[in-house]
């Protein structure tokens, strides 16, 4: 057992209290929190807050303190120093008296001791103060670290000198004085001009009666000082100030009191959406339809189109500006629209001349075509149709009676040997071009020759034989005799027939093994020979391969199972 564990165990034994003592401690804590009992006192005579949590108040066992204390929560070994006064701050600048001789460890450039040559901010001298000992600069003030108290650390204006800001205040005061003088000179000139105009007017109106002259003077006097509605006008200051809004106008937020209507922004006094949108009225007939409607009315749209046209013209190499050259821009735009319309008309004419269909453009509109009909239809009182045109039933989702590539029949009208084709030309290739009935006999003879069936006339060589001969001529160029070619073709046919029989046996064996249960199936039911397949084996596989796209594949599988 270690010493630390032993000490912990003894501390736990010493700290154990009885049930009664524990209840008394709890009651005393509640009384201290309520204020009926005095608070605990630490070793320095300071009160301990009774609301401090227990885990903060408890002293670790290794401190060896048996009385209430918060010393373990304070920084240990802290050197108490007198805090600096609130008005103390770091001194800036340099001292007034400078040294007369160079001192060891000073700056080699200016001679100050408080920094080195690397940190010197003076202009580098050709011969430093270390060598000529001339013009040695005074030292900067070096002040130790200030120890502020709680208030000193958080004082924002500590170290602020109001004298530094006097220069800025004086500069702005001079600017204000200059503005006032200019304004006074301007007002004096305007007053002199008004007096001269009034004198000329009085001389010109001497012929009028005194009563009329007096009334005119009074009207001019009071009219000059009158305020226009919605403005504040002072004739002495010559300045007009616009109010927030005219009081006779209806406020935007009072047009529709529904809270779900158009949003009103009180900061900018704007309502962009239409407050009467729910009524469904025409915005042009409303007294107010929103700021967006007003913003997009008038010549705003035309101005935007002109700006867009100017940008597009600049990209094409024509330098024109909307505000600097509006006449030039408008002429260019008109010319462009005329040429564009001519180009569209010529384009339509060329298309009609090439492809036709002009008669369809002169057809009546679709509404006129569907609005009247001669079909007679009778309806019952419940809305059901009694007599008339019945609804056409859709027989198939596929397109019918559509012939392509010169065919007279559709794909799938001919069937032979497990393959579909066209009945008009007996072609088994879908989307092929029809060659007519002339190709039927040649296809039959080619199939018969491939299956080694006797024919009355000479049968042309099949595609397989042509391919075999080409491969043979490439590999064996020296064998050019007719006898060797005939022997090779016979051998090839024999090999192809044997390969077809082997392929049929393999397919039957595979179907037999797949029909068996997995538990009854032998370990290696398929005899697989690892070798490269020959050309005959590949051709036999292609001939006997079951095609998934064949619509009669399922029918053939059923017939095989029945057999």
Beta bridge partners of 140: 94
Cβ atoms of residues 140 and 96 within 8 Å:
no
Least confident of 60-64, 135-139, 357-361, 518-522: 518-522
Each residue's pLDDT tens digit, 122-147: 999 999 999 998 999 999 988 778 88
Give the pLDDT confidence score for residue 295 in this predicted structure: 80
**How many Å apart are CA 276 and CA 274, to the nearest integer?**
5
Percent of the chain with pLDDT strictly greater than 70: 74
pLDDT band at 453; cut points 50, 70, 90? very low
pLDDT band at 96; cut points 50, 70, 90? confident
How many Cα atoms occupy the beta-carbon half-sphere of 100 within 13 Å? 0
Cβ atoms of residues 125 and 134 within 8 Å:
no
Question: How many residues are recorded in the chain?
Answer: 563
- Taking all residues of the chain, what is their mean pLDDT, rounded to a whole number? 78
Tell me the pTM.
0.24
Percent of the chain with pLDDT strictly greater than 90: 21
Mean of the pLDDT values across residues 250-262?
86
Each residue's pLDDT tens digit, 377-405: 787 887 777 777 666 566 677 777 788 88
Tokens encoding 264: 């009103």
Nearest to 262 by CA among 297, 288, 281, 282: 288
Please say if the pLDDT value at position 450 is more than 80: no
Give the pLDDT confidence score for residue 230 in this predicted structure: 46
Give the pLDDT confidence score for residue 122 in this predicted structure: 92
pLDDT band at 457; cut points 50, 70, 90? very low
Helix (H, G, I), strand (E, B) or coil at 49: coil
Please say if the pLDDT value at position 319 is more than 80: yes
**How many Å apart are CA 469 and CA 466, to the nearest integer?**
5
Give the pLDDT confidence score for residue 523 in this predicted structure: 66
Give the pLDDT confidence score for residue 20 in this predicted structure: 92
Please say if the pLDDT value at position 441 is more than 80: no
pLDDT band at 110; cut points 50, 70, 90? very high
Helix (H, G, I), strand (E, B) or coil at 515: helix
pLDDT band at 3; cut points 50, 70, 90? very low
| Helix 326-355 and helix 300-315, axial crossing angle in degrees, nearest 10 | 80
pLDDT band at 50; cut points 50, 70, 90? very high
N- to C-terminal Cα distance for the chain?
Answer: 93
pLDDT band at 205; cut points 50, 70, 90? low
Please say if the pLDDT value at position 112 is more than 60: yes
Buried/exposed 316-349: b ≥16 CB within 10 Å, e otherwise = eeeebeeeeeeeebeebbeeeeeeeeeeeeeeee
**How many Å apart are CA 134 and CA 150, to the nearest integer?**
47
Please say if the pLDDT value at position 13 is more than 80: no
Of 245 and 425, which is predicted with more confidence? 425
Domains of the chain: which residue ranges? 3-73, 486-563
Please say if the pLDDT value at position 6 is more than 70: no
User: DSSP assignment of 127-180, as one string?
Assistant: S-HHHH--SPPPPBP--PPP---HHHHT-TTTT--GGGGHHHHHHHHHHHHHHH
**How many Å apart are CA 229 and CA 243, to the nearest integer?**
9
Give the pLDDT confidence score for residue 5 in this predicted structure: 45
Please say if the pLDDT value at position 81 is more than 50: yes
Each residue's pLDDT tens digit, 458-515: 556 777 788 778 777 777 666 566 666 667 788 888 888 888 888 888 888 877 777 7
Give the pLDDT confidence score for residue 548 in this predicted structure: 67
Please say if the pLDDT value at position 49 is more than 70: yes
Of 480 and 277, which is predicted with more confidence? 277
Give the pLDDT confidence score for residue 214 in this predicted structure: 54
pLDDT band at 535; cut points 50, 70, 90? confident
Cβ atoms of residues 503 and 537 within 8 Å:
yes
Give the pLDDT confidence score for residue 404 in this predicted structure: 85
* R_g of the chain, CA atoms, integer Å: 56
Cβ atoms of residues 133 and 101 within 8 Å:
yes
Cβ atoms of residues 124 and 109 within 8 Å:
yes
Give the pLDDT confidence score for residue 463 in this predicted structure: 76
Of 193 and 238, which is predicted with more confidence? 193
Q: Which of 156-160, 181-185, 217-221, 390-394 has maximum average pLDDT?
A: 181-185
């Amino acid at each position: 057992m270690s010493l630390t564990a032993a000490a912990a165990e003894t501390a736990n034994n010493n700290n154990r209290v009885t049930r009664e003592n524990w209840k008394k401690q709890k009651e005393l804590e509640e009384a201290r929190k309520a204020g009926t009992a005095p608070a605990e006192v630490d070793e320095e005579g300071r009160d301990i807050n009774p609301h401090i949590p227990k885990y903060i108040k408890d002293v670790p066992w290794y401190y060896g303190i048996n009385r209430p204390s918060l010393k373990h929560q304070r920084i240990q070994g802290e050197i108490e120093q007198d805090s600096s006064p609130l008005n103390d701050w770091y001194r800036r600048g340099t001292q007034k008296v400078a040294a007369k001789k160079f001192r060891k460890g000073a700056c080699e450039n200016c001679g100050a001791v408080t920094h080195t040559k690397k940190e010197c901010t003076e202009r580098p001298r050709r011969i430093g103060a270390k060598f000529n000992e001339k013009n040695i600069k005074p030292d900067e003030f070096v002040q130790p670290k200030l120890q502020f108290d709680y208030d000193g650390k958080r004082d924002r204006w500590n170290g602020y000198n109001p004298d530094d800001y006097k220069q800025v205040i004086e500069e702005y005061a001079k600017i204000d004085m200059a503005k006032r003088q200019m304004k006074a000179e301007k007002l004096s000139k305007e007053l002199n001009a008004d007096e001269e105009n009034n004198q000329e007017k009085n001389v010109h109106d001497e012929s009028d009666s005194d009563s009329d002259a007096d009334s005119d003077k009074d009207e001019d006097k009071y009219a000059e000082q009158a305020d226009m509605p919605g403005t504040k006008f002072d004739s002495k200051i010559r300045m007009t100030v616009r109010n927030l809004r005219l009081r006779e106008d209806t406020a935007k937020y009072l047009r529709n009191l529904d809270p779900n209507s158009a949003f009103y922004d009180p900061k900018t006094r704007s309502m962009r959406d239409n407050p009467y949108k729910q009524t469904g009225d025409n915005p042009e007939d409303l007294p107010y339809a929103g700021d967006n409607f007003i913003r997009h009315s008038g010549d705003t749209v035309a101005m935007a189109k002109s700006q867009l046209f100017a940008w597009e013209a600049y990209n094409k190499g024509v330098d024109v500006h909307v505000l600097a050259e509006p006449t030039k821009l408008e002429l260019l735009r008109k010319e462009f629209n005329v040429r564009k319309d001519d180009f569209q008309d010529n384009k339509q004419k060329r298309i009609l001349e090439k492809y036709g269909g002009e008669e369809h453009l002169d057809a009546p509109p679709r509404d006129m075509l569907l609005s009247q009909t001669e079909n007679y239809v009778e309806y019952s009182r419940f809305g059901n149709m009694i007599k008339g045109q019945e609804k056409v039933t859709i027989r198939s989702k596929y397109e019918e009676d559509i012939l392509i590539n010169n065919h007279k029949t559709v794909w799938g009208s001919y069937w032979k040997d497990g393959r579909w084709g066209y009945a008009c030309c007996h072609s088994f290739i879908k989307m092929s071009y029809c060659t007519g009935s002339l190709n039927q006999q040649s296809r039959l003879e080619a199939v018969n020759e491939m299956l080694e069936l006797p024919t009355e006339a000479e049968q042309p060589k099949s595609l397989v034989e042509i391919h075999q001969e080409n491969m043979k001529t490439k590999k064996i160029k020296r064998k050019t005799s007719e006898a060797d070619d005939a022997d090779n073709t016979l051998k090839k046919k024999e090999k192809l027939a044997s390969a077809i029989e082997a392929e049929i046996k393999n397919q039957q064996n595979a179907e037999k093994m797949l029909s068996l249960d997995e538990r009854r199936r032998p370990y290696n039911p398929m005899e697989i020979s690892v070798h490269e397949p020959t050309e005959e084996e590949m051709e036999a596989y292609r001939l006997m391969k079951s095609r998934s796209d064949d619509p009669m594949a399922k029918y053939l599988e059923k017939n095989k199972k029945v057999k």
